[in-house]
Structure 1
Amino acid sequence: MPKVFGFAGYSGVGKTTLIEQLIPRLIHSGVRVSVIKHAHHDFDIDRPGKDSYRHREAGAHEVLITANRRWVLMHELNGEPEPSLEAQIQRLSPCDLVIVEGFKRSDIPKIEIWREANGKPMLYPEDKNIVAVACDVEIDCDGLPWLPLNNPDRIAQFILNTFVHD
């Protein structure tokens, strides 16, 4: 099983941007990284008129598109409940580390991303799964590590020390 941890925080605090900066740093350290991103709305990666879209519209349960550079599997839930985070992790190919974006209420260790300017409350006082806070201003996190949000090298090292090489 890979190591799993998440980033929690409200919309607009920079979770995706930080993850985008961390992935190449972690890969450079020899870590094979996968990401699970939770979408809070009815998203679709397919487009009307494409063959795969037409197959799904015709009722296919799954459509796998493959090419020489990537493949994607689209699975239609057709009224079934959304699979749990644990079920989604099991679907991933072998890797060393799974970064989860979203699923902020999940029972996995998380780094909270917080920006004072966002005007939202912090999650860590209530969420006991938060192991550190990455913030754009230095704050007292009641004993949790504070990570400078604008220093992805330091955050990557924290992730390596805490989740990969623990």
Structure 2
Amino acid sequence: MRIGYLLYNGGTDIDQLRRHMMQKLNCQAVFVDPGPHTRRQLSMALTSMVSHDTLVIESIKQSGFSAFQFLSLLEQIDRRGATLEVASPMLSSSQPEGQQLLLDLLIRQLRSERPGNSRHLSKRRGRRPKLDADAMRQIAERLRAGLNTRDIARHMDVSIATLYRYKRLIEDNNEV
């Protein structure tokens, strides 16, 4: 079975043309999501797919997928034993040439997304560490000297749990 997937564009005339195009591509069912933030219809399309089905999308750009979302979609389709077909440019994930083109498109999309996402990746998340690298060296030296962990924790002004957590990090890095 061929299943079409579209992202609602806003113009009723344009969307009717796009639906008609999906019917010309022999899609028995067409799922349309109202926007890129809700993918409920895509989820329904994927759950209705079985082995040897084909999900047809108009184009990668029109579908509004990020590179990660597109890769996740390919994995879900592959897990079901189905294939993905992109109408523009015409390619299929079941053919080696189509797989290569999909990979090239994915790489291009990753490169175009990288500048905006690199800031998010470089941000540190979570709480600031209680101890810095110098304090960890002091803990390692005191542990090597054989001092009691309670005394080390009291001297470093941290809880026993925090000291044991850093002790585990030090042991993992083979510093003790």
Q: Which has the higher strand share?
A: 1
Instruction: Kindly name which structure, 1 or 2, has the bigger radius of gyration based on alpha carbons.
Output: 2
Q: Which has the higher helix share?
A: 2
Which gives a bigger RCO, structure 1 or 2 (Cα 8 Å, sep 6+)?
1
- TM range, smaller chain: under 0.3
